[in-house]
Amino acid sequence: MTYGVKVPISGFPEWLPSQRMIEQYVLDKIRSTFELYGFAPLETRAVESIDTLLSKGETSKEVYLLRRLQEDENSTKEDQLGLHFDLTVPFARFVTENHGKLQFPFRRYQIQKVWRGERPQEGRYREFLQADIDVVNRDTLPFHFDTEMPLVIGDAFRSLPIPKAVIQVNNRKVCEGFYRGLGLEDTAQVLRTVDKLDKIGPEKVAALLVETAGATDAQARLCLKLAEISTSDASFVDHVKALKVDDPLLDEGLDELRQVVEAANEHAPGLIRAELKIARGLDYYTGTVYETQLEGYERFGSICSGGRYENLASVGNTRFPGVGISIGVSRMLGLLFGRDALTVSRSVPTAVVIALPSEDERANCERIAAGLRRRGVPTEVAPTAAKFGKQIQFADRRGIPFVWFPGADGHSVKDIRSGEQVDADPQTWMPPADDLRPQIKGL
């Protein structure tokens, strides 16, 4: 079968090799940070039952169904499977199925593809890679895990050559308690409406609050006043108190949010910002919620989000509350690739090419290459015994810094960037550390 040039399928990114190397570098940094905090790796299946996927919020329009081309006429709705749209729902299912084998609190990280039927646009895809961390416990989860999440993500982002990341944090108890203190009963509807603030603006949000949540104009104005509060320290507490709305749940949420902000400021000043308009769309969040923006890319929204959930997983009368946060790896990289904000020093891992004097010498050249590889030097042998000038051009076009010249009386290696050529022993030679692996750089 032959394939001609076809239009790419929208929303399913395929990175070039150089971009894929950047992605792998980013994943390695994220993974190592997660493991430094004691999170264990996990991978769940790509599919879940439709009932599982649709039980956790308003996601039915986003779910991709999985079925055979020749559908079984006896199949029922209970047999239907869908591709997971996030990693939290399958993680919760995994916990309920394996709780007898797990040690709690259970800390896991998960780096996998997910699928979501959204309209593709810059930085938003239908198939994308997420990197999640979650902590779950049996019955109750101490609040200090909520304060830990931003610290892990902050360390992961600081290990990468990307713009500064600011984690915006809120607590749904603050919002729900405030709305309850105002006398608004349908707090879930108010949350969903306020969550649209950045998309439709305050005037339309106020009108929707009156229309869909039964708010008066005065109540809608106070909801917007709360959403305007934004501080980099714990002063948000005083700003909320100044609105003179009282409710025990509001007080509890303010105290929890203060703990998150103060812990982050002690760990990394400037990492976090209390942003009281943040609500998060998914219905399973019950307390702390996080969203993260990159400086210079704010108009594209969050590239890392999550929160606390009390009721996502349960077995009988036993609940497994948790808190988690997810990095949208493909989303973040897509935005940075679109601005050429990440570069790699060469398009292949190879650090040195063994020049081939003639095809008769190929076996000897392969032995030299094998010796270098055993010592961790990425090496390949030139594809043909062309003139040495063309073999140097072959290396240069791919960004490979060194060419190795074998000889009966000794070997030499040439740095084709500077033109310097020196004698080299295949048993001991190593490239400079910065040339051993491709270097990833940001703007």
- The CA distance from 58 to 117, in Å, is 13
Tell me: is residue 126 an annotated ligand-binding position.
no
Count Cβ atoms below 10 Å from residue 147 Cβ, excluding itself. 22
- The CA distance from 300 to 332, in Å, is 10
Tell me: is residue 88 an annotated ligand-binding position.
yes
Strand partners, 114: 128
CB 323 within 8 A of CB 307: yes
Cis before 401? omega within 30: no
- The CA distance from 21 to 27, in Å, is 10
* 3-state DSSP helix/strand/coil % of the chain, to nearest 5: 40, 20, 40
Tell me: is residue 284 an annotated ligand-binding position.
yes
CB 245 within 8 A of CB 222: yes
DSSP assignment, residue 120?
P
Tokens of 256: 């929890």
CB 179 within 8 A of CB 247: no
DSSP assignment, residue 60?
G
Tokens of 239: 């700003």
DSSP string, 246-289: --HHHHHHHHHHHHHHHHHHHHSTTSEEEETT---S-TT--SEE
Amino acid at 154: G
Q: From 407, 98, 151, select the one nearest 262 (Cα to Cα).
A: 151
Tell me: is residue 393 an annotated ligand-binding position.
no
Chain centroid, CA 346 distance in Å: 25
Tell me: is residue 134 an annotated ligand-binding position.
yes
Tell me: is residue 285 an annotated ligand-binding position.
yes
Tokens of 228: 């305007």
Tell me: is residue 109 an annotated ligand-binding position.
no
219: region left, alpha or beta (phi > 0 left; psi from -120 to 50 alpha) = alpha
The annotation places the binding site at: 86-88, 116, 130, 134, 280, 284-285
The annotation places the binding site for L-histidine at: 86-88, 116, 130, 134, 280, 284-285
